[in-house]
Amino acid sequence: MAEPHHPDLETHLQSLIPSPSRSSLRDSVIPALLQSISKIATALRTSSKVSQVGTANAFGDDQLNVDVIAEDIIRTAISKCPSIATASSEEDPVEKAISSVENAAEKYTLAFDPLDGSSIIAPNWTVGTIVGIWEGGSALNQSPDRQIAAILGVYGPRTAAIVALRIPGSEDACFEVDFGDEASDLRKASMEVVRPRIHLESPPFKTRYFAPANLRAAAEDPKYMDLVTRFIAQKYTLRYSGGLVPDVVHALVKGHGVYISPITAASQAKLRRLYELAPIALIIECAGGSAVESKSGERILESEVKDTDERGGLICGTKEEVEEVVKALLG
């Protein structure tokens, strides 16, 4: 049987972003970020060990050597994109100027988590990178509609990336990129679009998956305990690794799933809206799913992000499952 034809990244992006007014996003920003994901994957494979570097980021989180490496790789990549005005990250949560683009036709800001999954990277589990791309010079105090793209880099047995686009005047798009044999010049590394369209399935579902994050909260919240028990009784398949990126990507690959990260008085929110919740929500929505706050049930992309340390809970995945979880936890 012949191998399926996979379009190259350049051709696929051209079909999704034909407008010359977005040429920098199409030809520079997204390719540069994907190339940085390939380079981070190489760095992770060649790092002899994962260790704390003895420093903390601005939020007080201990930094790992691989956190710093991933941050540096992305910063280097975006420094060559003249349309990126500013960028901030979980490791450096201040929107700093990248280039001077006052008179440019395109201007973007990035908000990214260079390496998500610090608690599971030492045992060599799958981890990832999360990137949100916003129009303008800042992502703070802006309409959520100004986030026009998001990327998840996935570092596992193979390197992959999920890309979502929400460009005004165009249909939402979500697709998967696979990285072929790496070249010494990353610009020549092959990037194939192995799934041109990612979309969560509609019922009836053959297999149903659930990922209960912050499971210790079930000891504090009877509703969460009842929900987890119900999932087990109804023969849902447990798929939870402890990493946000691999658990969300699992749902996107299988076509079904619900990820739940609740908040209780003793188990406070850990996910930052700017660097994790907003990009994840955009990707899930572009794949036909739903992403809401676990405390209120409100859509993640309904409100502005006012501070880089703003945090929240998350319920995301298949729409029907998200609705049922909201009913179970919030009534």
pLDDT at residue 52, rounded to an integer: 59
Q: Note whether residue 4 is domain-resident.
A: no
Residue-level pLDDT, tens digit, the chain, 331 residues: 555 678 899 999 999 999 999 999 999 999 999 999 999 999 998 876 766 555 656 666 667 888 899 999 999 999 999 999 999 999 999 999 997 665 568 999 999 999 999 889 888 999 999 999 999 999 999 999 999 999 999 999 999 999 999 999 999 999 999 997 554 444 445 799 999 999 999 999 999 999 999 999 999 999 999 999 999 999 999 999 999 999 999 999 999 999 999 999 888 899 999 999 999 999 999 999 999 999 999 999 999 999 999 999 999 999 999 999 999 999 8
Q: CATH no. for residue 274?
A: 3.40.190.80
Partners of 254 in the β-ladder: none
Are residues 288 and 314 part of one domain? yes
Are residues 191 and 215 part of one domain? no
* Total domains present in the chain: 2
Give the residue carrying structure tokens 């201007």: 107
Are residues 313 and 273 part of one domain? yes
Are residues 281 and 150 part of one domain? no
Angle between helices 278-286 and 244-254 (to 10 degrees): 0
Domain boundary among 140, 171, 195: 195
Are residues 240 and 164 part of one domain? no
pLDDT at residue 183, rounded to an integer: 40
pLDDT at residue 118, rounded to an integer: 82
Are residues 133 and 30 part of one domain? yes
Q: Note whether residue 201 is domain-resident.
A: no
Give the residue carrying structure tokens 């949100």: 132
Strand order in the sheet with 108-116: 96-97, 84-89, 108-116, 127-135, 147-155, 159-165, 173-179, 191-195
Q: Which domain holds residue 236?
A: 209-330
Are residues 214 and 303 part of one domain? yes
10 Å Cβ neighbour count for 201?
14
Domain boundary among 143, 167, 195: 195
Are residues 181 and 97 part of one domain? yes
